[in-house]
Structure 1
Amino acid sequence: MDMMSTQPHGVAPIPAMALVGPLDAGRQSTPILRQYLRIAMRWRYLIIGIVLASALLGLIVTLLMTPKYTATTTIEISRESDKVTDFQGVQRDATVADQEFYQTQYGLLQSRSLAERIALQLRLVDDPKFFAMFGEPRYDPAFDKINGRYPASGRPARQREAGMILTKHFSVDPTRLSRLVSLHFVSPDAAFSAKVANAWAENFIQTNLERKVQATSYGRNLLQGQLSEYKQRLDESQRQLVTYASAQQIINLPAQGGSGDGKSTSERSIVADDLATLNTALSQATVDRVQAQARYQQVGRSGASTEALRNQAINNLRQHRAELAAEYQQLMVKFEPGYPAAKAIQSQIDQLDRSISREESRITGSLEADYREALQREQQLQVKVGQLKSGYLDLRRRSIQYNIYQQEVDTNRALYDGLLQRFKEIGVAGGVGVNNISIVDPADAPQKPSSPILLLNLAIAIFGGLVAATVLALALEQIDEAIADPAEVERSLGLPLLGSVPRVEGQTPKEALKDRKSDLVEAYLAVQTTLAFTTEHGVPRSFMVTSTRPTEGKSTTALALATTLARGQRKVILIDGDMRSPSVHQLGGVDHNKGLSNFLTGQDNIAALTFDMDELGFTAMSSGPIPPNAAELLTGKRLALLIERLLETFDHVVIDAPPVMGLADAPLIASRVEGVIFVVESHGIRATLVKTALSRLASAHARVIGGVLTKFDARKAHYGYGYEYGYRYGRDKFDEQVA
């Protein structure tokens, strides 16, 4: 059993208690950290349970969470555009003023239009898997599937929703003091995260270039007017050339050779081109005729030409015939030629011979036709080539003026092309040629999920559980009105603490008091020691012991104090003042046929009303017969007279009074004694009830000396109360000597 410290404490109503006032002040000024530590130790099992439950819940939630993968693309955003054609350009250092530019770029990266553009490019708008991955919106007609597909009418709504989903899972992380920006995209699919992150960077670069193209310079407008003028000149010269060529029936084609820019340097007439083409065709026709004639002459009378030997159909027929012939020879070993199966095979062989003969004849005819066709084509080309030679000589005479017109067209076209090239270069210079954004590191498919992180989630869960447990412990501390430890007697009740008494188990209080080394005796010796400082003459000569309600240990306290005072060589009498539920007579082994109620009703022979408690060394007076109304007996002067007469014989009068709540007996007795000892049961009574009881005593002008905390269990007490040392000190040493 634990034992409290036996240091004395002051009692406010008694001036002598000012001697221990500083100690009370010290208890009232407990550091706040110690108070919190005390609360934590009191509710430690609750806190540990909540923290463990939170950790388990965090583990379960983490295991049930869908893994998320984060893909990262790193890009560089330069403050000034890099001019590709200018090798003397210098990058300007970033300053505070540049933050406006970079914040604008970060905002553009997270714009809705860019997200919707990516959704269209990756075809996410019509992909049910994409919306299923992130959750389709409910009650939206745009997501009602028809034959497993989304309707076309809801495409704008799905595009907005897809953009919102992408933006929600996308984040921008600028690298401090640099031009590098990390683009993160999170999704349950690692490959999809990488694809979206890369698409985001590429589309951002494209939109940046498109914005620059739209902001072209004023020079393009000026060149556009000049282009229109030279275009008219070129068109007029071309019409003049075409008119003359039509009149003279001159048809020219671009030359086969051209300059490096893809433009032809000269033209050639269609007659010359046809002549060259026909001449080439004539040469090829002659070659074809010679080859066809050679193949035709190689055909023998048996039709065994090279083409016949290489013909797949004939070879298949011959192979099939050989197989049938072999099968026929096998039958001839056992049967005659007239055998039905043999006759059937012979019929198939004859049919195959006829098919082979037809195929060889067809090939021979085909070779002859090819030869005659090649010969005819050669003769026709020879006639046509002769005609084109005459036409070409006539065309050269009519092409002199045509060449003059052609030179004028070429001049106008060169001027127009030069202006057009300049017009294009200005557009490139204002847009594509001055890109200031580049991809540094493209995103790769992450190999492991970025969330959930088990250790982080467990840490958060444990921290959250600790916070919740702390809040709950503080709330319960405020709600809980039980007196848990000795310090709360003073802190919560404002009652000076006389001492604390441990819970006695396995034996009766009387048996524990007989053992002078018991924890109970040690505890009440400490209470007696404290009582010695409560008045100028030491322990009050007359005092009563009471409590808020029954079974809090008031009778045990009265018995124990009477015992310890008697063992201190003092004459003590214990009076059972509880005339409604007496108990002292049971300790003495007598009845309560005579006692306090007898004296209060007029009997003056005190000696006849008492009995000796030889085992404990003091005299006792039972409550006497239970009266109809004990309060009426206590309102008279007989109780004060009894105490006065007893003090003539005894050093101390101890009254075991009834509980305060619900009865008027205790306040009446309290007004007749020098002091009141108030018993409070540890973990058994609410502080509000105790305060109410103390208020009733105060209204009767009772002088409450202090409180005794009974049934105290150090294992349930708050942190910082090592009572077991006080109880065991001396006993353990004595036990060691005996052993």
Structure 2
Amino acid sequence: MTLHQFLLILRARYPVALFILVATVLAALGVSLLLPAKYTAQTAVLVDIRSPDPLAGTAVPGVVAPSYMATQVDIIGGDRVARQVVKTMKLDQAPGIKEKWQEATEGRGELDAWLAGSLQQGLDVRPARESNVINITYKGNDPELAAATANAFAQAYLDITLALKTEPARLYAEWFDEQTKASRAKLEEAQARLSQYQQKAGIVSSDERVDYETTKLAEISSQLTTVQGETTDSQSKRNSRGDTVAEVMQSPLINGLKTDIARLEAKVQESRSRLGANHPERQSLEAELASLRSRLASEVGRVTNSIETTYRVGKDRERELQGALAAQKARVMQLNKERDELNVYRRDVESAQRAYETVTQSASQTRLQSLSNQTNAVRLNTATPPSAPSSPKLLLNLLIAAFGGTLLGIACAVLLELMNRRVRSTEDLVQMLDLPVLASIVSSAGTARLPGSHRLTLGRST
């Protein structure tokens, strides 16, 4: 179909299109006049997602900002906020509201839920583009009621946001209070065990017995080492020959006796060479030599006995020190064991103290959060009653009806033409008969006419 054919169809069937256009516009006018007037009130809240929590010190990351804003929009449009608005505006106490609910639902469900659903039908919540502002729009029949409802939704959102922040903190605070009591009981129990063990073991907080007993053990060990060295030396002297002992060799008396004996032996030898065996001088010298030798043996024996005595005394002292060393070791080990057990009790007390401090700190923080009255959302403005209705928009509806009626009229004209096809131009003959046009007769009005009927029967004659 060419444009010329289309225009010819419209010119031929314009009454139908005009009728449909007029009917559509009149229908839109009637509907617009019959529809009740709607008033739209709007308020806005600002959600500051970048401000950190003054108690927790955390802020919402910028990456999750879109989802965070979407969550806030869902909260405003949710049932909890709507129910809060019902309670705030006392809509459930309005006269005749229960009868309407009974009539609409036949008593099924809850009145608050039905009212909340009715409010949500006129609510429109949209975040502003590229900002943290959320626009709350409410449409109703009464301008005062629409403004009050929009403001009620904004305030309910602020209250619910604060409740969502403080209610978990309050529950956590109650839980932490119980944990604080349990931690305090464990700390007191650990401190009691520590004090009881200190009293039982006789250990004071500044106990210095371990250092004293350790020093004493070192002294006994040193004495034992010294005595063992002396005993070993005495034993070596005891096993040596008497005249080779250092005390014997270094004794002035013994050395003097040896000198006297050597000198007297020389005299005895001389007297033997010149005096007889019975000579009194010779016998006197031999008697004096025997006496000196007896004194020398006596002195050597006395030194040897002294070494023997020193050895026995050293062994006795060594055994005594060994016993004292073993007893002191046992005492030090017992003290170390007591101190180790005491340290275990102390570590239990320190662990319980740290746990108690951690729980106490968390309990204080959650308690402060439960008492908070600030959120990161704030109202930017207050909705005011609109002076003019937002719908129905008469001019806009008539324009839309005119545009739609025009399209519908044209469509109906074309549809009627297709259902009852007429020959309105030479192009129609060419397309239908597939024959060339040899001539056309033009009327005096300048319009092409064909002889006979304007209705064309499809087909080809022989």
Task: Give the TM bin, normalised by the shorter chain.
Answer: 0.5 to 0.7
Q: Which of 448, 462, 478 matches 2:388?
A: 448
Q: How far off is 1:34 after superposition?
A: 4.8
Q: Which moved more, 1:62-71 or 1:117-126?
A: 117-126
Label 1:442 to 1:428 Cα distance change in 2 as closer, same or farther (>3 A).
farther
Is 1:57 aligned to residue 57 of structure 2? Answer: no
Q: Which of 99, 102, 105 matches 1:140?
A: 105
Q: How far off is 1:113 after superposition?
A: 2.7
Conserved in 2, the CA contact under 8 Å of 1:76 and 1:438? yes
Once residues 198 and 488 of structure 1 are traced to their aligned partners in structure 2, the CA distance between those partners, rounded to angstroms, is 67
Label 1:104 to 1:502 Cα distance change in 2 as closer, same or farther (>3 A).
same
Is 1:462 aligned to residue 462 of structure 2? Answer: no
Q: Which of 485, 490, 493 matches 2:425?
A: 485
Once residues 93 and 228 of structure 1 are traced to their aligned partners in structure 2, the CA distance between those partners, rounded to angstroms, is 36
Once residues 226 and 167 of structure 1 are traced to their aligned partners in structure 2, the CA distance between those partners, rounded to angstroms, is 44
Asked which structure has the greater RCO (Cα within 8 Å, sep 6+), the reply is 2
Is 1:210 aligned to residue 180 of structure 2? Answer: no
Deviation digits for residues 561-595 of structure 1 (CA, Å, limit 9, x no counterpart): xxxxxxxxxxxxxxxxxxxxxxxxxxxxxxxxxxx
Once residues 136 and 45 of structure 1 are traced to their aligned partners in structure 2, the CA distance between those partners, rounded to angstroms, is 50
Is 1:127 aligned to residue 94 of structure 2? Answer: yes
Label 1:131 to 1:492 Cα distance change in 2 as closer, same or farther (>3 A).
farther
Label 1:93 to 1:444 Cα distance change in 2 as closer, same or farther (>3 A).
farther
Conserved in 2, the CA contact under 8 Å of 1:116 and 1:160? yes
Secondary structure of 1:215's counterpart equals helix
Q: How far off is 1:109 after superposition?
A: 1.4
Once residues 42 and 104 of structure 2 are traced to their aligned partners in structure 1, the CA distance between those partners, rounded to angstroms, is 34
Q: Which of 22, 45, 49 matches 1:79?
A: 49
Is 1:439 aligned to residue 379 of structure 2? Answer: yes
CA root-mean-square deviation: 3.8
Partner of 2:146: 193
Q: How far off is 1:92 after superposition?
A: 6.8
Partner of 2:18: 48
Q: Which moved more, 1:100-109 or 1:492-501?
A: 492-501
Label 1:226 to 1:446 Cα distance change in 2 as closer, same or farther (>3 A).
same
Secondary structure of 2:411's counterpart equals helix
Secondary structure of 2:379's counterpart equals strand
Q: Which has the higher strand share?
A: 1
Conserved in 2, the CA contact under 8 Å of 1:84 and 1:433? no
Conserved in 1, the CA contact under 8 Å of 2:5 and 2:424? no
Q: How far off is 1:114 after superposition?
A: 2.1
Is 1:474 aligned to residue 414 of structure 2? Answer: yes
Label 1:131 to 1:499 Cα distance change in 2 as closer, same or farther (>3 A).
farther
Q: Which of 69, 73, 79 matches 1:112?
A: 79
Q: Which has the higher helix share?
A: 2
Output aligned runs, 1:290-689, within 5 Å: 426-429=366-369, 432-501=372-441, 519=444, 553=451, 680-682=452-454, 685=455, 687=456
The letter for the 2-side match of 1:185 is: Y
Deviation digits for residues 269-302 of structure 1 (CA, Å, limit 9, x no counterpart): xxxxxxxxxxxxxxxxxxxxxxxxxxxxxxxxxx
Label 1:422 to 1:91 Cα distance change in 2 as closer, same or farther (>3 A).
closer
Partner of 1:337: none
**Number of aligned positions between the proteins:** 287
Label 1:216 to 1:93 Cα distance change in 2 as closer, same or farther (>3 A).
closer
> Which structure would you say has the larger Rg?
2
Q: How far off is 1:40 after superposition?
A: 3.3
Conserved in 2, the CA contact under 8 Å of 1:173 and 1:183? yes
Partner of 1:247: none
Deviation digits for residues 501-538 of structure 1 (CA, Å, limit 9, x no counterpart): 467xxxxxxxxxxxxxxx49x99xx99xxxxxxxxxxx
Q: How far off is 1:189 after superposition?
A: 0.5
Secondary structure of 1:177's counterpart equals coil
Secondary structure of 1:51's counterpart equals helix
Conserved in 2, the CA contact under 8 Å of 1:82 and 1:435? no
Secondary structure of 1:193's counterpart equals helix
Conserved in 2, the CA contact under 8 Å of 1:213 and 1:427? no
Is 1:691 aligned to residue 458 of structure 2? Answer: yes
Conserved in 2, the CA contact under 8 Å of 1:185 and 1:197? yes
Once residues 45 and 80 of structure 2 are traced to their aligned partners in structure 1, the CA distance between those partners, rounded to angstroms, is 20
Secondary structure of 2:28's counterpart equals helix
The letter for the 1-side match of 2:429 is: V
Deviation digits for residues 241-291 of structure 1 (CA, Å, limit 9, x no counterpart): xxxxxxxxxxxxxxxxxxxxxxxxxxxxxxxxxxxxxxxxxxxxxxxxxxx
Q: How far off is 1:191 after superposition?
A: 0.7
Could you tell me which runs of 5 or more consecutive residues in structure 1 were left unpaired when the two chains were aligned. Answer: 1-29, 143-153, 231-418, 504-518, 528-551, 554-679, 699-739
Q: How far off is 1:164 after superposition?
A: 1.3
Once residues 189 and 41 of structure 1 are traced to their aligned partners in structure 2, the CA distance between those partners, rounded to angstroms, is 49
Is 1:181 aligned to residue 134 of structure 2? Answer: yes
Deviation digits for residues 138-168 of structure 1 (CA, Å, limit 9, x no counterpart): 56333xxxxxxxxxxx7x5322221111111
Secondary structure of 1:216's counterpart equals helix
Deviation digits for residues 180-230 of structure 1 (CA, Å, limit 9, x no counterpart): 011011110111111111111111111111111222286664445557999
Label 1:474 to 1:72 Cα distance change in 2 as closer, same or farther (>3 A).
same
Could you tell me which runs of 5 or more consecutive residues in structure 2 were left unpaired when the two chains were aligned. Answer: 185-358
Once residues 82 and 68 of structure 1 are traced to their aligned partners in structure 2, the CA distance between those partners, rounded to angstroms, is 41
Secondary structure of 1:497's counterpart equals coil
Label 1:430 to 1:43 Cα distance change in 2 as closer, same or farther (>3 A).
farther
Partner of 1:160: 113
Is 1:171 aligned to residue 124 of structure 2? Answer: yes
Secondary structure of 1:172's counterpart equals strand
Partner of 2:187: none
Secondary structure of 2:138's counterpart equals strand
Once residues 439 and 119 of structure 2 are traced to their aligned partners in structure 1, the CA distance between those partners, rounded to angstroms, is 70
Once residues 486 and 202 of structure 1 are traced to their aligned partners in structure 2, the CA distance between those partners, rounded to angstroms, is 74
TM-score between both structures, scaled by the size of structure 2: 0.53
Secondary structure of 1:72's counterpart equals strand
Conserved in 2, the CA contact under 8 Å of 1:47 and 1:466? yes
Once residues 133 and 364 of structure 2 are traced to their aligned partners in structure 1, the CA distance between those partners, rounded to angstroms, is 32
Q: Identity across aligned pairs (percent)?
A: 22
Partner of 1:98: 65
Q: Which of 38, 56, 81 matches 1:68?
A: 38
Q: How far off is 1:472 after superposition?
A: 0.9
Once residues 169 and 39 of structure 2 are traced to their aligned partners in structure 1, the CA distance between those partners, rounded to angstroms, is 41
Once residues 373 and 133 of structure 2 are traced to their aligned partners in structure 1, the CA distance between those partners, rounded to angstroms, is 21
